[in-house]
Structure formats: structure tokens, C-alpha cells
Structure 1
């Protein structure tokens, strides 16, 4: 039994407006993308949060970024266990097939996934402790980051630090993928970590030398 329904009217109107303007004015460019394929220079791993709009932040056009979004912009460690790994598959395709030159992990302020993890550790979100919680088990990936800061941070300060730790954990896990490590060591790929303040519009980058975030 199918339960799919027609698009809401406001989305249909927006699509028709884009087709009549944005597409019509750049038709040759879209047709070129369709026939020549994609050749993005960078992959961006960001959060699903609707307030994080990476193409707007960087003024990117179609075909420029290969984008993967998930809860809290997390990358799992390399685990070739025969299971279905959407994030890992996307990374593999970006690095081995598309040959992107950059992989960028971008975290952000007010992250609901990170807040959920913090609440889970504080015992105030027991539903996320359930084995049946997809969000809870996904956010377990942040545990190494929490272990690094839990002795010195608490409350809002801890949540802010955890948002940045989500980026660091992902960068560390990226290097467990053999094809990522090989490309980095061959200087064919560079990894980058960013944290975006939604309210202020600020952007910070991760300095691996002193493991701190600094203004861009």
C-alpha cells in the first residue's frame, strides 16, 4: 500500500517559480551538468538541521559541493561489517569515485543531536537510552569527545564544547578509513573542521596543531 501524496501547494509554487526563472536563465549550465556529470571540488559533511545552509554560507553553485547531512554531522569509524552504512558509503564515493580535493566537517551552534546526547548522559532523556532509538545509538559516536571534556565542563559550556567535539570525533574517524588516510598521506585530499554560529553568522576552523577552534 502506498501512502505518498501530492506535494503541498507552497512547494509546487516554489518549484514552478524556480523552473521559470533560475532554471530558465541557466538552462545551458544545468544541461551541461546533466551530460558531463559532477566534478565537485569538496565534500561537506554537515548536520541535518534546517538552519544550516552550507551552499548559502559559501555562495556555492550547483555542482560545486558533494553534500552529506546527518544528525550532528558525525562520521562513524571504518567498519566493513557488511551492514548498511550511509555515511561511510557517501565518503567512499566522494573520495574514491569523485576524487574530491577537500572533505569538510561542519558543526554548528544549538545542535539538537548534541543536546540530546548531553541529556542522555545526564539521565534526562531515557528514551534515547533505549536500544530501539536510532538517534540515541547514532549519538553514541560522540562518546569519545564527551570523555575528553566531561571532567572540566558542565551545563551549557559542556554542550558548546560537545558541538565542537562532534567535529573533532568525525575528523579522527575519517582517518580510520584506509582510502581517506591514503589520499591524505599522498596529499591528494585535505580534511577540514568547521563550527558555525547560527545566530551570529560566525565560522570557526579547527587547528589540528593545538586542537582548538579559531575564527575564520
Structure 2
């Protein structure tokens, strides 16, 4: 038997949520179910378990359309006919849900970004294998690695974390329907970087060409 029942601790947590959070907000959950979702923003964040997007913004159910992947990356527009989970999520958010904002949020100590750094610097040959899903996904960030300034490894890895956000923002604009929505002022793009240790949040300032503290 390969699929087993939930661990007891998760069952207890669910029952606790159902008896408290859900019970206290039953009309809201039923309204969401009956009327559908109308999120104002899409957030593309990392899969990292330490990044809790809803908590950072104090968001309730129905507020954000959230997509998570390794290193919060958005690939360039490539209608190849292959499976494109992230591109599909962007398309659905912009075309169907008509969100007003798309936010890309990176973070400190990102394992995916560190893997890309190690791969591109020749220290993770296993990620260069054609069979490495992580390695091929991190190829999206190669332009960021190639643009890194000189410095020690720690500084360059953190710079690459922030460049993962910038690369994704640039790639978003290669999607014709995203660019059209931005040009028509129906959509705005935002880039954030979160330090998970001290809780700070920085935003990409296009005019200054750098991340600035919020």
C-alpha cells in the first residue's frame, strides 16, 4: 500500500481548524464557494516552507491567488505545447481572474537559488544532468548568475536571490497578455525580497534600479 491515511497530528490540526477558524467564519467560506474567487493579486513565491505569504500580509482566504515553485521563478513565454505549470498559473490569473497585481517574492537562504549558484559555478555537477528537474528549472536563472557583480560567495548568493525576482519580472513581460495588460494599466507588477530571519521586506524600485526597504 503506497497511499496511507493522514498522520494523526495533521488530522488533529484539521479538526481544530474546522471547529475554530471555519466555524467562526462559515458564512465567508460559503460565499467563497458559491460566488467563486475574486483575488486582487497573484503572488509567485518559493516553495520554501519558511515563506508564509498569507501570514506576512495578514491575508484571509480568497485574497491572493498564490503560485509556488522552486526559487519563485517565472520562465519566459514559450508556447511549446509542453507542460508549463507556472505559465498556466500566470495565464489563468491575468486572463481569467483579471488580477490587478502580480507580485514576485523572493527570500533569503533560498535553497533553489543556492543550487543555481553552485551549478553555474561548477560545484553541483549533478544539477547539470539532463535528468535533473531542479537543474533544468534553475536554467531560467542563468542570466541572473551571469550578471552577478564580483564579491564573496555569500554576497553573490544573496544578490542572486534578488536577481531571481528581477529575472522573473522581466520574463513576465515576454507574455503578450501580461504586457498588454500592463500597457493598458489594468495590471501592475511588483518585486519583493523577504529576509526570513529578521522579517524585513524589500521592494524592487525600477527608477532607482535597486531593492529598497519597505
TM-score of the aligned structures, taking structure 1 as reference length: 0.97
- How far the C-alpha of 1:122 sits from its partner, in A, is 2.2
Unaligned runs of 5+ in 2: none
Aligned to 1:171: 169
**Which region of structure 1 is more displaced relative to structure 2, 190-199 or 151-160?**
151-160
1:65 aligns with: 64
Alpha-carbon shift at residue 29 of structure 1 (Å): 0.6
Give the match for residue 129 of structure 1: 128
Q: Which residue number in structure 2 is paired with residue 202 of structure 1? A: 200
| SS in structure 1 at match of 2:98 | coil
Count how many residue pairs are aligned between Structure 1 and Structure 2: 214
Provide the residue aligned with 1:181 in structure 2.
Answer: 179
Give the conservation status (yes or no) of the 8 Å contact 2:120–2:145: no
CA distance in 2, matches of 1:210, 1:182: 24
Query: Is the Cα–Cα contact under 8 Å of residues 72 and 165 in structure 2 kept in the other structure?
Result: yes
Matched residue, 1:140:
139
Aligned to 1:14: 13
What's the RMSD between the two structures over aligned residues? 0.9
Please state how far the C-alpha of 1:4 moved relative to its aligned partner: 1.2
Partner residue of 2:89?
90
Question: Where do 1:112-123 residues align within 5 Å?
Answer: 112-123=111-122
The residue number in structure 2 matching 1:77 is: 76
SS in 2 for 1:153: coil
Displacement of 1:127 in angstroms is 0.8
Counterpart of 2:151 in structure 1 is 153
Write the deviation string for residues 46-80 of structure 1: whole angstroms up to 9, x where unpaired: 00000000100000000000000000000000001
Deviations 1:20-59 (A, max 9, x none): 1111111111000000000000000000000000100000
Higher mean alpha-carbon deviation, 2-11 vs 156-165, is at 2-11
- 1:124 offset after TM fit, Å? 1.7
Partner of 1:111: 110
Give the secondary-structure state (helix, strand or coil) at the position aligned to 1:120. helix
How far apart, CA to CA, are the structure 2 residues paired with 1:27 and 1:3?
35
Partners of 1:81 and 1:132 in 2: how far apart? 19
Structure 1 unaligned residues grouped into runs of 5+: none
Secondary structure of 2:59's counterpart equals: coil
TM-score after normalising by structure 2: 0.98
Moved over 6 A (4+): none
